[in-house]
Amino acid sequence: MAATAGAARGAGKRVPVGLELFSVRESLKRDLFGTLDQVAAIGYEVVEFYSPYFEWTDGYAKQVRKRLDDLGLECRSMHSPSRAFEAANRARAIELNSIVGSRSVVMASPGHRGTTADAWMATAELLSGAQEAFVAAGLEAGYHNHASEWRVLDGDAAGPHAMDLLAAETPEGVTLQLDVGTCVEMGKDPVAWIEAHPGRIRSIHCKDWAPGEEADEKGFRVLVGEGASPWKEIRAAAEKVGGVEFYLIEQEGSRFSEMETAERCIRTWHGMS
């Protein structure tokens, strides 16, 4: 029921596009506020901060929120370290996310490279426990996949991969934030994954991937729209079934500067629609 409701929320409305700020990480380190100014000027509507935010003071987080508000930017989610989901740190995660306006605390990495079902069950339990605390505060937990989550577990080629287990063993309210590039890199079908999890793909990292070497500007160095990802089909499935509420362009690096990369990506993105 919750998943169906989530799909309905994402259907039939314009979905804003944002930027995962890891894409402009060097600029962000030099001048966070100036970087936000540039990101807004390029045309992004949403931003996602990543794990270093967890060291912010309340006062600094309030300054960030003010700049976001002044620019008309929203921070709807924060990429968070796994320790933010531990019982001792959940209150801090809630406080910082709430100040900035984020409603989704996304686990950026589980803190392990487990290849067993037991390792991923422990991650599912951590997410589930955090979800209960986050929901009580008006937030939600999320999980962001990398390549390792698409590998088989316990050496069983016919068995589930980690993402199957996390989807099955966490509440439906936990967002399955899809990183498209790593899904495609691992030979998985992002459209099928979205369609199999209605209402749970509430945000998507729009990172492309192309076969080849990064030294030849392939791999994750291609811009959005230059790789092997079927973006038209992904967006259709995300908006019809997945319950997507916002997209986040992410770039690990390219042949252009960080900010030119971000600008070229959003221009291409709008040209796809």
Residue 263 resides in a domain: no
Number of domains in the chain: 1
| pTM score, whole prediction | 0.94
Q: Show the domain range for 170.
A: 2-9+17-257
Looking at residue 13, its pLDDT comes to 82
Residue 265 resides in a domain: no
* CATH code for the domain of 192: 3.20.20.150
Looking at residue 200, its pLDDT comes to 98
Residue 272 resides in a domain: no
58-112 pLDDT tens trace? 999 999 999 999 999 999 999 999 999 999 999 999 999 999 999 999 999 999 9
167-225 pLDDT tens trace? 999 999 999 999 999 999 999 999 999 999 999 999 999 999 999 999 999 999 999 99
Q: How many CB atoms lie within 10 A of CB 25?
A: 16
End-to-end CA distance of the chain: 30
123-172 pLDDT tens trace? 999 999 999 999 999 999 999 999 999 999 999 988 899 999 999 999 99
> What sign does the dihedral 250-254-257-262 (CA atoms) show?
negative
Residue 246 resides in a domain: yes
- Per-residue pLDDT band for 1 (boundaries 50, 70, 90) equals very low
Residue 113 resides in a domain: yes
The answer on pLDDT for 4 being more than 60 is no
DSSP letters for 12-31: TSPPPEEEEGGGGHHHHHH-
Alpha-carbon distance values, 246 to 46, 256, 261 (Å)? 8, 25, 20
- Rounded to the nearest 10°, the torsion over CA 93, 108, 173, 266 is 110
